[in-house]
Structure 1
Amino acid sequence: MINARLLLLSALLVTQASLIARAQTGGKQSSPDKRQSEVLNEQRLASLMSAVGIRVDQASRFTPGLTYQSLRLRLTTDTKPANAAITSLAQKFTSSITSSERRSGQLPRQRSLELSSQHVVLLTVDNANHLRWWSLIPDPRILRAEEPDASNRLSGTIIYQPNVETIFEIPDDPVATELRLYHPQWTEDGFVLTLVSTLSLKN
């Protein structure tokens, strides 16, 4: 009887210690799980980039420093897409800089690669088409609004803006030569990236 009580007490102590340790880490992934997730993301990124002709290797990747570029851009969508089957968000648009400013601070590192058709993949490359930096941002051409229906109940709606001004923040990287924007498009084989705009970073 005493041995049974001791075993029960020991099990309770182990469980309590496990719960305390989990609470202290905030339920975060353990280091091996986190590393595995990062490796899988890198492999997926390399596959997506390879499909659009961009080379990915760690030696060419840029580590953001203590300054970055804040670019105010005007996005102007082509009025007549070359392919009538292309959706509005996959249409190509012209990007032009209206102003730029170097600012102090460090850009956050993009860790997740959860693609969505309502996002844009923003990236920079060098003159050898190596990936320098990338980020996943909400598509600035999408405006979410709430409108009343026939019963005066509000419902969410998405408005597509063919022309818009927005601000992109990119690393202050002297090696980067071009800014590219890709629209993630869902297919039966998964997401593919469609190039929708390019912008030279060299005057």
Structure 2
Amino acid sequence: MAHYFWEPVKLSLEVASVSIIIVFFTGIIFARLMTRVQFKGKIIVETLFMLPLVLPPTVVGFLLVIIFGNNSPIGIFIESLFNKQLMFTWWAAVIASTIVAFPLMYQSAKAGFLNVDRDIEEAARIDGASEFKVFIYITVPAAMRAIVSGIILSFARALGEFGATLMFAGNIPGKTQTTPTAIYVALDSGNIQLAWLWVISILIISFFMLLMTSMLK
């Protein structure tokens, strides 16, 4: 019973942890780029970045199936490269969680970068610091609160992902069954006690994450 309970929780934490690493770097890079570069269609690109935040998870899952499915060009290429399909795998769960968590990291990092004092950055450049050093030693530390807030919120979002994961990664116990999908199955099968245990575990984790975010303000 204990093993059966902890398996989806452990899988959820693993998937969310890998997702947040990807989201952290991509969110930081694109946020930095979008605060510094002006180009035609920028607002469209930024809208696309934020789209997973408002789309129903099933729509995100559907699009992932279309893009990475077994009959798609990308899906066929991945299968030929690794001799294994992407759908209904652990990595499919990671991709689904990454897609839905990215907007929170991107928006938080962008807000943090926009609030950095440009005069301090410019002073560092005048003193001979390269753009990379200005970014690493001035911009990132100054925006650290917003970045950490984005990490926490993105991790919580990845941890709670359900719809896109169910459609793209499936619900395979021990392989792709995360806590949200396990709750759905437990409730559907009438195992209310087990469903409550998983719900409480997610509530506790999410509560402390939001508490940490509030403490950063």
TM more than 0.5:
no
User: Which structure ranks higher in relative contact order (CA pairs < 8 Å, sequence separation ≥ 6)?
Assistant: 2
The normalised TM-score by structure 1 is 0.26
Structure with the larger helix share? 2
Structure with the larger strand share? 1
Larger-Rg structure: 1
